[in-house]
Structure 1
């Protein structure tokens, strides 16, 4: 597998997972009763969309076709989240806990990508830049969950 093929595969996996994150934040912003949290979720969604755009540019630069849809797992995750919401209603604490769970998943995906030793310098820079958003979002949602007693 060439470096550019490897780059495209790694970056597209991260793009799909980030797209799930954008959608999750947007949906949660619409479902949560607390307007301050809704604003925070919408801001995080915009930040993640910016990270997606940068990763898509890196895929194109590597000669690949950038991912523009979420993951199949993300679809299953969204379906589960919808079912959970139907049962629990608009419970802010449950929504924050679900977001934090998604952040844990996203963080693990990025840690795996960061461990790749044969990414090109361009791909590595793109992953590192997106990692800043992911790490900040993870830490923020983890702290928020714990502050709510979760």
Structure 2
């Protein structure tokens, strides 16, 4: 039988791992979303930017995967059903809009805002070891930067039409 202290420690560990798994799934989804958007984009500069974002999210996922393994847990290997649904929505929307770059950017903004909100919620509602807190805050900061860049690109695309 476990003591109250052992049970509490186990609960904290499980919560930490579950939160990291959720963020890992979000990064798998974002990587796939950026890759899909890159395939749909027409402008070569936009394709390059979207490819960079997919690689960035792959790095985020790798870091989270390593953190989960350092906690002696097995990381999830795939994204979420919600992410699959979002990519299906991108397919449907871009099919009707002719896969124009503006529509691709709108979906990127939507996906990145969802990532940003999940990171913020996870960070606000949980306590992480300081090193991990720094990692997550840095990733959130980069996501916020991506949202700003995508909004600028969207504004440029709108002004070109």
CA deviation profile, 1:40-83 (whole Å, cap 9, x unmatched): 00011111100110011111112222122111111111111111
Unaligned runs of 5+ in 1: none
What's the CA shift for 1:38? 0.2
Between the two proteins, the alignment pairs up a number of residues equal to 150
8 A Cα contact 1:7 1:62, kept in partner? no
The CA RMSD over aligned residues, in Å, is 1.7
- Higher RCO (C-alpha under 8 Å, 6+ residues apart): 1
Q: TM-score, with normalisation over the residues of structure 1? A: 0.91
List structure 1 runs of 4+ shifted beyond 6 angstroms.
none
8 A Cα contact 2:36 2:87, kept in partner? no
Alignment counterpart, residue 40 of structure 2, candidates 19, 31, 34? 31
Q: Who wins on radius of gyration, i.e. which is larger? A: 2
Alignment counterpart, residue 20 of structure 1, candidates 4, 17, 29? 29
8 A Cα contact 2:106 2:154, kept in partner? yes
Partner of 2:110: 101
Distance in 1 (CA, whole Å) between partners of 2:130 and 2:18 is 15
Alignment counterpart, residue 63 of structure 2, candidates 54, 61, 64? 54
Question: Is 1:121–2:127 an aligned residue pair?
Answer: no
SS at match of 1:149: helix
Unaligned runs of 5+ in 2: 1-7
